[in-house]
Copies of this chain bind each other. A is one copy, B any other.
Amino acid sequence: MLTMISRIEEVAKSVDQRQVECFLTEINRAERIFVLGAGRSGFVAKSFGMRLMHLGMIAYVVGETVTPAFHKGDTLVAFSGSGKTKSVLEACQTTQQIGGTICLITGTRSSPMADLATCVVHLQTDEESVHTGSDHFDLRQLKGEHRSMSQPSTPLGTLFETSAMIFADSIVSALIELKNCSIDDIIHRYSNMQ
């Protein structure tokens, strides 16, 4: 667990604060936010969407039952390690056509999604994969085959999803301050039916 955390710490330290500011500004002023991710990134997206609802924001998960149509002026928050997952990329393309804002949290510097996004937060979890072209960097991470000169072999879990989850939670903390949310109001929105 400690090896993973140390690796996540490196990721956190390398985040470009201007990207964080851009993301926070967009989320703070968004009227309706649609979150999306595929696979495990989808669970991170849902975790973030649930918190936005707790803060009193209007948030939807793409693909859930009562999610309405995405309209001009809406904001899509996409989580994608590779920046090219097909279903998420298509949603980004739709967003652009409709005239929405795309905020991307990704593990890859350059990607089709990054090209479309208004705002990109790059979590540097992928240096090696850029060189090898592997689409399955996280597998090597899982297996602990992640190596670099400055750092011995480390048995990692999937770095992108975990880093993205912590990043998203830090945004939630910042939004609570920015919007001056009351704890009582937040509690009042917690699901009381499960």
Residues of chain A at the chain B interface (Cβ within 8 Å): 1-2, 4-5, 8-9, 12-13, 15, 34, 36, 38-40, 43-44, 46-47, 49-53, 59-70, 85-87, 90-91, 94, 98, 136, 139-140, 142-144, 155-158, 161-162, 165-170, 172-174, 176-177, 181, 183, 186-194
Contacts and interface: CB of A to CB of B under 8 A. Distances in A.
Contacts of A67: 53, 191, 193
Contacts of A181: 143
A169 to B, nearest CB: 2
Contact of A39 (B40, B50, B87, B188): B50
Contacts of A60: 66
A169 B1 CA distance: 8
A54 to B, nearest CB: 8
A178 B108 CA distance: 31
B1 A63 contact: no
A139 to B, nearest CB: 5
A180 to B, nearest CB: 10
Contact of A87 (B44, B139, B188, B194): B194
Contacts of A161: 47, 165
B43 A66 contact: no
Given A15-B1, A193-B94, A194-B38, A139 B43 contact: no
A188 B70 CA distance: 9
B172 A157 contact: yes
- Top 5 nearest A-B pairs (CB, nearest first) are A157-B169, A43-B43, A155-B173, A1-B12, A53-B66
Contacts of A49: 65-66
A5 B5 contact: yes
A142 B64 contact: no
